[in-house]
Amino acid sequence: MTTTPMDTDTLSFGLEISLIGMGVVFLGLLLVTGAITLMRRLDERWQSAEKRGEAEALLAAPTIDSTTLVLLAAAAATLVAGRHRIRGVRRMLPGEGAASAWSVTGRAVLQGSHVMSSRPRGG
């Protein structure tokens, strides 16, 4: 079989288009890789800033005193479920006692599972 100039032109055109297409795809992949790397670095920076902010917040003095906290808790409890008596208040900060990840997660699940309604019960 002999090749004609037409076949050679078609073959070179196809090869040229293939190389251009692969180059465009490669550049696109490089752009995606760059965007992912940039997002990862920004996320690491934001995470470290959040950790610093949380550490500073734990070291700062509480902005609400115990009396105000008791009054707010009593008002919320009365609004939600009627009369309640609060006998004591104890802050549960992560730095106090044995606050493992299991206990913190369990406390969050338990507190999040309570459904609060504003209508009175028993009526």
User: How long a stretch of residues is the chain?
Assistant: 123
Per-residue confidence (pLDDT) for residue 43, from 0 to 100: 94
Q: State the Cα–Cα distance between residues 111 and 74, nearest whole angstrom.
A: 17
Q: State the Cα–Cα distance between residues 36 and 80, nearest whole angstrom.
A: 46
Report pLDDT digits (tens) over 38-95.
999 999 999 999 888 888 877 777 777 778 888 888 788 888 877 666 677 666 665 5
Report pLDDT digits (tens) over 11-20.
999 999 999 9
Instruction: Kindly list the distances between the CA atom of residue 40 and the CA atoms of 44, 53, 62, 72, in Å, as whole numbers in the listed order.
Output: 6, 20, 34, 41
